[in-house]
Amino acid sequence: MKISNKLLYREFLSRENEIMRAPYNPELEFYNAIRDGDIKKVRDFCKEPFSEKTGLGILSNNSLQNMKYHFAITAALIARYCIEGGMEFNGSYTLSDYYILSADQCTSLQELSDLHRSMCMNYTKRMQDMRKQKIRSKQVLQCIEYIYEHLFERITVDVLAAQAKLSPAYLSRLFKKETGVCINAYIQSRKLETAQNMLQYSDYSVSEISAILAYPSHSYFTEVFHRKTGMTPSQYRAAFYRKMKV
């Protein structure tokens, strides 16, 4: 019996946390989650103590000092990603400087790991709050939640308007005003982001991913994916499948 797209999509989401903790440790996904204000994903990443992080270079023969150096690198990268995500430049780097100075005072690996977790969650919550401030209406938030929950379906403006109990025309204007993009562009962007994750972190074929995300055809999926990334889905998988990102 054929498994529904909804079940396949849910299966991918349920496996995602396990995938993210695999040995290849996709650092880019970690920094993107902080930038996107994804508290749940960042909390899952931080379950592994910073002091036990694998694959780091040796910057000092002293284990604590070595991790302090890597902490400083991590703090600088987080600041940069959050600036790219819209955080104010000076505020982001001031926060980074604060955590780097605090790390310098740590006297144990456990203390440093606790500070790392605190830093990651602080930045993530700030990014989440910043994004929520830009979207003020309950209806647009409701539509965004619906989009994320139904990426395995064909989502239309009419469907979202019915959920929000607004006319399609009014919802379209409101959505564009608060997010800066039209509804269809937002849906397409979220589907393509999910497709990229599935190509990197799952074993579904390109045609299966196309079907799971409710694209009308494999060829159309390939066309829009290439337009966004400059690569076909197959090329993207060949380049990024379960590889270290930084």
Q: Which CATH class is domain 138-240?
A: mainly alpha
When pLDDT is averaged across residues 100-121 and rounded to a whole number, the result is 93
CA distance 159 to 184: 12
Give the whole-angstrom CA distance, residue 168 versus residue 156: 10
pLDDT the model gives residue 197: 79
Residue for token digits 């604590």?
A: 64
What number is the average pLDDT over the span 28-34?
87
The confidence score (pLDDT) of residue 245 equals 36
pTM: 0.54
Percent with pLDDT over 90 in the chain: 50
For the chain, domain boundaries:
36-134, 138-240
| Burial (0-12, 13-18, 19+ Cβ within 10 Å), 158 | exposed
The Cα-based distances of 146 to 131, 157, 175, 196, 209 in angstroms read 17, 12, 13, 20, 20
Per DSSP, 171 falls in state H
**Helix (H), strand (E) counts: the chain:** 13, 0
Confidence class for position 230, pLDDT limits 50, 70, 90: very high
Mean pLDDT score across all residues of the chain: 85
Q: Give the pLDDT mean for 218-228.
A: 95
Task: Give me the pLDDT at residue 7, please.
Answer: 65
Q: Tens digits of per-residue pLDDT, 121-176?
A: 999 999 988 877 666 688 988 898 888 888 889 999 999 999 999 999 999 999 99
Residue 178, pLDDT score: 85
